[in-house]
Amino acid sequence: MPDSSAAAAQRLQAVLTTLRATMDAQISTAPSVREEHSHGEAMNAARLPEAVIFAESTEDVSTVLRACHARHVPVVAFGAGTSVEGHVVPPEHAISLDLSRMTSLIAVNADDLDCRVQAGLTRQSLNAQIRETGLFFPVDPGGEATLGGMCATRASGTAAVRYNTMKENVLGLTVVLATGEIIRTGGRVRKSSTGYDLTSLFIGSEGTLGIITEVQLKLHGRPETLSAAVCQFENLHDAVQTAMEIIQCGIPINRVELMDAVQMQASIEYSKLEGYRPLTTLFFEFAGAPAAVQEQVSATEALVQANNGLGFAWAESAEDRSRLWKARHDAFWAAKALDPQARVISTDCIVPISRLATLIDGVYEDIKASGLRAPLLGHVGDGNFHTLIITEDTPEGHAQAWELDKKIVARALALEGSCSGEHGVGMGKLEFLETEHGAGALSVMRALKKTMDPHGILNPGKLLPQGPVYQG
Ligand SMILES: Cc1cc2nc3c(=O)[nH]c(=O)nc-3n(C[C@H](O)[C@H](O)[C@H](O)COP(=O)(O)OP(=O)(O)OC[C@H]3O[C@@H](n4cnc5c(N)ncnc54)[C@H](O)[C@@H]3O)c2cc1C
């Protein structure tokens, strides 16, 4: 039964009073801390949580959820706040539960190529800590995200074309359920055919089914040889065609990333990339034993030539390579720097690889018709790309950007694609879910949510649009 705002506020204060008895030093109501937890990146939505609680252990998370469940108080898990679809924006009278202090690397099993981490550890910090083992964790979203947040959004990045996404790189989890109960899912083995796959259920659940406190991750050996090259094209279509053919020919490329001419211009300025022209560009990385790398390079060069590429420029040293990939990861900030007063809204659609060129050709027409500046870039080896729509930070500007986003999503869905390849649903993509999944699948998802979070306290208003619940 809906209750008054005053009653909800009272319940929240009662929860804080209970929690202060044991966790007082971990609770903040400072305006600056609340502001930091009121929004993610890119999207314009924001609302202050009433309090921010910094968890330091799985038991802390359990204590908080038990209290919130008992009094029906909403809780939004917060990792690093780099998500871009309004995921971490709290509803009214809510607590933001920050996991960024849970940063332990619990165990590294180098012989089995796996490790266990607390959910607040970032992937950059994990990789720095395991460098000596010769292993690494490959999923690399651009932001300094936490591994728990990356699980919760089913994140991927530039290396997914070779190493896949979070879904394929997580072996198991520790999760605190809405009631405060602690469960473990999965384990350390590479495969198991027992029971429902609860690990996969929580990956991509955006903090709506449980709060992840530990993650068992697959690690990978650092390749013997790495080489990176850049190829520029006069024509966007030719570049996209090249990326598609690389995948269709089965070349086991490590990364293949696209930036169109507008994004390239922005990145040249922002990242001080010297020697490149503001033209559509493909960034390649090849990895493996030297002979295998040479084979991949020759096959890719032939495709580049056939599609009018302007030749390879090699990044020879490790320094040059990391400068290039840093520029790619900073593309969002480069687009933002084009107009610091503007808002940059990122779209994120994906289609089966054979349809990528059709989609991007259509999207370019939509961008032109909109009159907006919208650099285009993406993980084209996966069929996934973003347009970074630069718009006035006003209601009219947001509406204009939203209109363009809708057109792009409609095109992707018509080509049997998805409205989000990696960013997730949050609040920004709710409208498209029924078209993408169908009413039946959504009603089953709502039934799951109802079973696992009967009081609807976990990140309400995200991932699932309102509608009928499957009754059996
Ligand atoms: C410049 C830039 C580039 C980006 N590039 C990419 C990219 O290439 N690929 C990509 O996939 N994403 C990308 N992103 C988006 C973002 O980095 C990812 O969505 C990331 O996974 C979010 O992690 P986070 O720790 O910041 O999570 P948050 O933003 O804090 O939270 C995201 C969601 O997960 C929930 N959550 C957080 N922690 C937990 C937990 N422990 N348990 C349960 N739920 C939790 C939150 O409630 C929220 O719903 C980019 C963002 C930026 C700003």
Residue among 463, 465, 456, 467 at smallest CA distance from 206: 463
Compute the distance from residue 207 Cα to the ligand 1 centre, in Å.
Answer: 11
Between CA 383 and CA 421 the distance in angstroms is: 9
pLDDT in tens, the chain (472 residues): 457 899 999 999 999 999 999 999 999 999 999 999 999 997 778 999 999 999 999 999 999 999 999 999 999 999 999 999 999 999 999 999 999 999 999 999 999 999 999 999 999 999 999 999 999 999 999 889 999 999 999 999 999 999 999 999 999 999 999 999 999 999 999 999 999 999 999 999 999 999 999 999 999 999 998 999 999 999 999 999 999 999 999 999 999 999 999 999 999 999 999 889 999 999 999 999 999 999 999 999 999 999 999 988 888 788 888 889 999 999 999 999 999 999 999 999 999 999 999 999 999 999 999 999 999 999 999 999 999 999 999 999 999 999 999 999 999 999 999 999 999 999 999 999 999 999 999 999 999 999 999 999 999 999 999 999 999 8
Determine contact, residues 381/243, Cβ cutoff 8 Å. Answer: yes
Compute the distance from residue 264 Cα to the ligand 1 centre, in Å.
Answer: 25
Indicate the pTM of the whole model: 0.96
**What is the CB < 6 Å shell around ligand 1?**
40-41, 76-84, 87-88, 99, 119, 141-143, 145-146, 148-150, 152-153, 155-157, 206-207, 211-212, 332, 422-423, 459, 462
| From 153, 258, 387, 422, mutation site for ligand 1 pocket: most ligand atoms within 8 A of C-beta | 153
Amino acid 358: pLDDT? 96
Between CA 387 and CA 402 the distance in angstroms is: 12
Residue among 276, 297, 273 at smallest CA distance from 287: 297
Compute the distance from residue 84 Cα to the ligand 1 centre, in Å.
Answer: 7
Determine contact, residues 95/64, Cβ cutoff 8 Å. Answer: yes
Compute the distance from residue 423 Cα to the ligand 1 centre, in Å.
Answer: 7
Determine contact, residues 107/149, Cβ cutoff 8 Å. Answer: no
| From 41, 53, 82, mutation site for ligand 1 pocket: most ligand atoms within 8 A of C-beta | 82
Compute the distance from residue 365 Cα to the ligand 1 centre, in Å.
Answer: 30
Are β-strands 95-98 and 51-54 bridged in parallel, bridged antiparallel, or unpaired? parallel
CB atoms within 10 A of CB 131: 11
| From 61, 64, 78, 83, mutation site for ligand 1 pocket: most ligand atoms within 8 A of C-beta | 83
Compute the distance from residue 83 Cα to the ligand 1 centre, in Å.
Answer: 4
The protein residue with its alpha carbon nearest to ligand 1, atom 21, reads 150
Residue among 258, 271, 422, 405 at smallest CA distance from 336: 271
Burial environment of residue 71 by CB neighbours within 10 A (0 to 12, 13 to 18, 19 or more) = middle
Amino acid 1: pLDDT? 46
Compute the distance from residue 407 Cα to the ligand 1 centre, in Å.
Answer: 25
Q: Given the CA of residue 213, which atom of ligand 1 is nearest to it?
A: 41
Amino acid 79: pLDDT? 98
Q: Given the CA of residue 158, which atom of ligand 1 is nearest to it?
A: 8
Compute the distance from residue 147 Cα to the ligand 1 centre, in Å.
Answer: 9
Determine contact, residues 389/336, Cβ cutoff 8 Å. Answer: no
The protein residue with its alpha carbon nearest to ligand 1, atom 5, reads 142
